[in-house]
Amino acid sequence: MRIFAARTIQMKIMSIDTVLTFLESCYKVCTDLVMTPNKRTYFLYMFTSLPLVYFIYKKKKKQSFIKFLLPKKIWLGKSAFVDYYFIAFNSVVKILLIAPLFIFGFKLAFHTTEYLNKWFGYELIQLSTVSTMIAYTIALSVFGDFVSYLIHLAMHKVPFLWEFHKTHHSATTMNPFTQYRIHPVELILNNLGAILTFGLMTGVFDYLSASQINKWTFAGVNIFTLIFNFWGANLRHSHVKFKFYNFLEYIFISPVQHQIHHSDKPEHYDKNLGSKFAFWDWIFGTLIRSKEVKKLHFGLGKNDNQNYTSFLQNLLNPFKNMLGHK
């Protein structure tokens, strides 16, 4: 009996440890949003955005800078709390479902390299380490952004995917963390696209460098992403109307251009779909420049906004709508 009781206590302790470890992992996923350089909300990027925010503030100057930067309605309003609930909920999804996919990404890279070696030989091309990393950075940025554009386009054009993407567009106010207001189904699809892109591109450039570079090196922060994040990327989901020069908005998506994409007017829903680059929108006819839109209100419009005010509505409505239960 004593042995049985001791084992029972040991199992309970192990169960508690497992739960605590899991909760710690979820907490780390949430804090990583402000503590890792590959996130737009990394604390350093937030600070580097302050001069840009102040530049916009100086044009208006109707209130103190702090009130302009941190309005209560935007950071502590009902819509904002839905953002925060999704961050917490999706941390669980990332641990349970998405983290294992990254292993698949590295396996895909390995098999891609092996396939190319088999069909084209080991000595066909051999780039230097520096040349490989430069070419890889450019290729991954451009190709990855194109894949992101196509997935985003599908989210708007395919009816059942739009039901899930509505969650992101249901925000009636935006702060930098609104970026993570994503339905778990969309989160999985987005990450699957990114992991497939990473696996294929890493495999190709691993082959081109004759496997001289550790595959974990490829997983480092992309220099284009670094520059993009330093230059106000976190203002895309915000109330701050920061525009680029007109000609630059044909090349890069400015914060205001992405805010137009979040307009509650249906004609803006499927515009400015690019993640970093605007030329995909320009090529495929989905580009709108900042100067073309004067007033902006965010959300899904008066008829739909009322159906997406809570976390549970945003989480469950896509399934209800697909089943015909409005």
Q: Is 286 helix (H, G, I), strand (E, B) or coil?
A: coil
The pLDDT assigned to 259 comes to 96
Q: Is the pLDDT of residue 77 over 50?
A: yes
The pLDDT assigned to 122 comes to 64
Q: What is the DSSP string of 101-127?
A: HHHHHHHHHHHHHHHHHHHH-SSS---
Distances (CA, A) of 20 to 12, 15, 23, 50: 12, 9, 5, 37
Of the two residues 324 and 275, the one the predictor is more confident about is: 275
Residues 22 and 88 in one domain: no
For residue 25, the enclosing domain spans 1-32
Taking each helix axis from N to C end, the angle separating 184-208 and 159-169, rounded to the nearest 10 degrees, works out to: 100
Residues 161, 139: contact at Cβ < 8 Å?
A: no
Q: What is the DSSP string of 6-61?
A: HHHHHHHHHHHHHHHHHHHHHHHHHHHHHHSTTSTT-HHHHHHTHHHHHHHHHHH-
Q: Is the pLDDT of residue 309 over 70?
A: yes
Q: Beta-carbon neighbour count of residue 281 at 10 Å?
A: 24
Q: Is the pLDDT of residue 220 over 60?
A: no
The pLDDT assigned to 124 comes to 57
Q: Which of 47-61, 130-144, 212-226 has the lowest mean pLDDT?
A: 212-226
Q: Is the pLDDT of residue 149 over 60?
A: yes
The per-residue pLDDT for range 225-252, each reduced to its tens digit, is: 777 788 888 999 999 999 998 899 999 9
Of the two residues 244 and 14, the one the predictor is more confident about is: 244
Burial class (CB in 10 A: 0-12, 13-18, 19+), 181: buried
| Mean confidence (pLDDT) of the chain | 85
| Phi (first) and psi of residue 183, to 5 degrees | -65, 140
Residues 5 and 63 in one domain: no
> 168: number of CA atoms within 13 Å, CB side?
24
Residues 28 and 135 in one domain: no
Residues 10 and 80 in one domain: no
Residues 15 and 53 in one domain: no
Q: Is the pLDDT of residue 311 over 80?
A: yes
Q: Is the pLDDT of residue 212 over 90?
A: no
The pLDDT assigned to 4 comes to 47
Q: Is the pLDDT of residue 27 over 60?
A: yes
Residues 243-268 have a mean pLDDT of 93
Residues 26 and 91 in one domain: no
Residues 142 and 194 in one domain: yes
The Cα angle at residue 70 between residues 66 and 71, in degrees rounded to 5: 110
The per-residue pLDDT for range 173-198, each reduced to its tens digit, is: 999 999 999 999 999 999 999 899 98
Residues 66 and 215 in one domain: yes
Contacts of 279 (CB under 8 A, 6+ apart): 250, 251
Residues 235 and 218 in one domain: yes
| Total structural domains within the chain | 2
The per-residue pLDDT for range 35-45, each reduced to its tens digit, is: 888 788 999 99
The pLDDT assigned to 3 comes to 53
Q: Which of 2-11, 44-53, 98-107, 218-227 has the lowest mean pLDDT?
A: 2-11
| Phi (first) and psi of residue 262, to 5 degrees | -90, 5
pLDDT over 70 percentage in the chain: 88
Read off the pLDDT band of 60 (50, 70, 90).
Answer: confident
Read off the pLDDT band of 201 (50, 70, 90).
Answer: confident
DSSP state of 295: -
Helix, strand counts (H, E) of the chain: 17, 0
Encoded tokens for 262: 């979040």
Q: Beta-carbon neighbour count of residue 178 at 10 Å?
A: 23
Residues 199, 104: contact at Cβ < 8 Å?
A: yes
Residues 75-83 have a mean pLDDT of 96
Residues 94 and 20 in one domain: no
Residues 50 and 174 in one domain: yes
Residues 256 and 133 in one domain: yes
